[in-house]
Amino acid sequence: MINTWIVATIVAIAAGIVGFFVIVRGAAFAAHSLPMGAFSGAAASALLGINQLYGLVVFSGLGILGISQLGKKSRHEVATALSLVALLSTGTLFLSMTHQYSQSVYALLFGEILGINNGQRVPVIIVGALSIAMVIIFFRPLLLNSISPELGEIRGVSSRRMELCFLTALALTTVMALPVVGALLVFSLMIAPPAIARSLTDRPGKAVLYSIGIALITVWASIAIAYVTNWPIGFFVGAFGAVFYGSGRCFSLARAHF
């Protein structure tokens, strides 16, 4: 349980920060595609008999390269879709070549944070620290590029570099969030809390803090209930996200009306 709380807290903080830029940049499709593409890395790791984290990192990197390079010659969502298809087809091949993946596949699909051990904790902390540090260092240029790429270019902020920086932070967050909520719902943790935060305030700093707070409440409550019910934690993360988002929208509408 100590490992569970530590990992979940780090994941929530990273997801809250990176998720803010997912919402501002309108990159929800990329936030959904990268986890599914990185999932293929778990299949490769199972085939090779190595730590799943290595496979997740490699395939997340391939997803970044695919989206970044294909995005130069086609629309961003098309590049994202093509990268996702390529990674998933490769993952299907790897899965067909091994018969020892059922438990690990289930864990990465639906989340298995109660199974985090000491050996997995340290890599997650390192990856999480890198993701958070990257966003904090490039926060201002990332924000400027997300709101107005043209103005950013005028002020010397390269759109290509900021896109690569954002995708890298998103991939790192994806890698460490997969064991928590699973590939099918990892994007909900990076979309629901920041979307709720954006409906509560227009200030970027406050929105990030609100996003982190909501993400922490979501994962902590989900862990407690999942521990009691023995249900997948991903279900509760998604359910809390939907409830909180609906409540936030109602609050915003009520505030605007009155």
- The gap between the terminal CA atoms of the chain, to the nearest Å, is 45
Among 83, 107, 94, 71, smallest CA distance to 33 is for 83
**Under 8 Å CB-to-CB from 103, ≥6 apart: which residues?**
none
Q: Can you give the residue range of the structural domain that contains 173? A: 2-257
**pLDDT for 236:** 84
**pLDDT for 169:** 87
**Under 8 Å CB-to-CB from 110, ≥6 apart: which residues?**
182, 184, 185, 232, 234, 235
Tell me: pLDDT of 209 over 90.
yes
**What average pLDDT does the segment 145-153 reach?**
86
**pLDDT for 211:** 92
Tell me: pLDDT of 84 over 60.
yes
Angle subtended at Cα 18 by Cα 17 and Cα 23, rounded to the nearest 5 degrees: 105
Tell me: pLDDT of 205 over 80.
yes
d(CA 50, CA 32): 25
Angle between helices 28-48 and 159-181 (to 10 degrees): 60
Helix (H) or strand (E) holding 34: helix 28-48
**pLDDT for 258:** 65
At 22, which CATH number? Answer: 1.10.3470.10
- Split into its structural domains, the chain has a count of 1
**pLDDT for 213:** 93
**pLDDT for 76:** 64
**pLDDT for 112:** 66
Q: Is the pTM of this model over 0.85?
A: no
**pLDDT for 101:** 53
pLDDT tier at 208, thresholds 50, 70, 90: very high
102-137 pLDDT per residue, tens: 566 666 666 666 666 677 778 778 888 888 999 999
DSSP secondary structure string, 190-253?
HHHHHHHHHHH-S-HHHHHHHHHHHHHHHHHHHHHHHHHH---HHHHHHHHHHHHHHHHHHHHH
Percent of the chain with pLDDT over 90: 8
The rounded mean pLDDT for the chain is 79
**pLDDT for 115:** 65
**pLDDT for 139:** 92
38-70 pLDDT per residue, tens: 777 777 777 777 777 777 777 777 777 777 666
**pLDDT for 137:** 92
d(CA 192, CA 197): 9
**What average pLDDT does the segment 186-199 reach?**
83
The answer to whether the beta carbons of residues 125 and 8 sit under 8 Å apart is no
Angle subtended at Cα 139 by Cα 190 and Cα 73, rounded to the nearest 5 degrees: 75
Burial 58-89 (b: 16+ CB within 10 A, else e): bbbbbbbebbbebbeeeebeebbbbbbebbee
**pLDDT for 160:** 81
**Under 8 Å CB-to-CB from 112, ≥6 apart: which residues?**
106, 179, 182
d(CA 124, CA 40): 19
**pLDDT for 206:** 92
Q: Which pair of tokens denotes residue 212? A: 């982190």
Among 245, 183, 242, smallest CA distance to 37 is for 183
**What average pLDDT does the segment 96-101 reach?**
64
